Chain A
Amino acid sequence: MIIQWLLIPAIIVAVLLALRSRNSLRGQARRKIVAVLTLVGGVVAVVQPDILQVIADFVGIARGADLILYGLALVIIYLVGSVSVRFREHEAKVVLLSRALAMSDAARRLHDQETGFAGTAAPVAVDPAAVDRDI
């Protein structure tokens, strides 16, 4: 059965590709190519449904519909992986932002404590009318 030799490596490749970093230009280009191929494949499958059956027979699947099912399974595996990686990268940025904020806040408080500044952290109240006039 050819399909077994295709599906198992395909699953592994889908997982590895999905988990790899998304930020490369090559990766972006690859995804666009896949998108275009999917579009073309979809149109072909609608116009000439028999082609699916021919491919299915060739790789040893009973029905063309099953071929689509296997394809979908691969896409979902890839999507779950790539979304989770993207989420992780996003999280890393939030971490850096939060840390920068925490550090600058701490630096300000330390400065206040060392210079004996006794005021609160609240911003100075501004009279909106005065601001308007200045502009």
Chain B
Amino acid sequence: MNMRSARAGTGLDSDPALADVVVIVRVFNEATVVGSVIRELRDAGFAVIAVDDASTDASAAEIDAAGAFRVSHPANLGAGGALQTGLEAALTFTGAEFIGCFDADGQHQVKDLMGMVEVIRQGYDVVIGSRFLEGGDTQIPWLRRWLLKAATSLMNRRGETRLTDAHNGLRIIKRSVAREIRLTYSGMAYASQLERALTGSDYRVTEFPVTILYTEYSQSKGQPLLNSVNILAEVAAHRISQWSRR
């Protein structure tokens, strides 16, 4: 099980205690922070796959220096495209049983991910971070909070699994679940597609309280609120387009 010696230096080696986990980090022009985020994950013992979504800054060099395994898109594919690539890379290049997703902008905390690893090992298929559960300690601007609640209740109308936080980037899923995911939406609308995939089947899904750090950096990089219009429009257009194919 000692992956560290076998694949040392590839970024896919991990602490023996975490040999069953690989973490995907999507990176698009995050050169100032991605190095420290990846280093923190690596120091904790995680194997890390960083999907460089055709960054135009020094992100790729930062990823390599920080010691993650880098997969670089030749063209920008957006958040959903990068996540799909990360999942496929995790399935192809590692044998990890659990695949985690972690944001590159420093808003997630490694200790939350560690806690989620413990939870998913108890026999869950999907563990999703939530900002709204007891135990989390996130200060969310009120308009964002309201939009997130609205999106969550819209989404929850389908699956049996009730989620309290629709669009949280911190997740960990089982390998067998990852194999079933096909994200086709570009941009941020992928999140609703992903949540449907995760909660629609008979998976054992649970949430884990996490703390999101709304730093000045992540605020400036994060989703502009108006982007929710784009997301809704994309979901609607996509559903009409797919209508006749079903």
Q: Which residues of A contact B (CB under 8 A)?
A: 16, 19-21, 24, 84-85, 88, 91-92, 94-95, 98-99, 101-103, 105-107, 109-110, 113-114
Contacts and interface: CB of A to CB of B under 8 A. Distances in A.
Given A19-B241, A106-B93, A99 B70 contact: no
B84 interface: yes
B168 interface: no
A103 B71 contact: yes
Shortest 3 CB-CB contacts between residues of A and residues of B = A106-B71, A19-B240, A113-B10
Contacts of B245: 21
Nearest to B93: A110
Contacts of A113: 7, 9-10
Given A88-B241, A91-B186, A107-B92, A99 B10 contact: no
Majority-rule SS of A interface residues = helix
Interface of B: 7, 9-10, 12, 51, 69-75, 77, 81, 84-85, 88-89, 92-93, 184, 186, 237, 240-245
Contact of B92 (A16, A101, A103): A103
B74 A85 contact: no
Contact of B237 (A19, A98, A109): A19
Contacts, number: 69
A102 B85 contact: yes
B237 A94 contact: no
A95 B85 CA distance: 10
A19 B12 CA distance: 43
Given A20-B244, A85-B241, A105 B84 contact: no
A95 B81 contact: yes
User: B-side binding surface: helix, strand, loop or mixed?
Assistant: mixed
Contact of B88 (A20, A103, A105, A114): A103
A98 B85 CA distance: 9
Contacts of B89: 103, 106
Nearest to B75: A98
Contact of A106 (B69, B241, B242): B69
Given A16-B240, A21-B245, A88-B241, A102 B73 contact: yes
B240 A20 contact: yes
A95 B77 contact: yes
B12 A99 contact: no
A99 B86 CA distance: 10
Contact of A20 (B74, B84, B243): B243
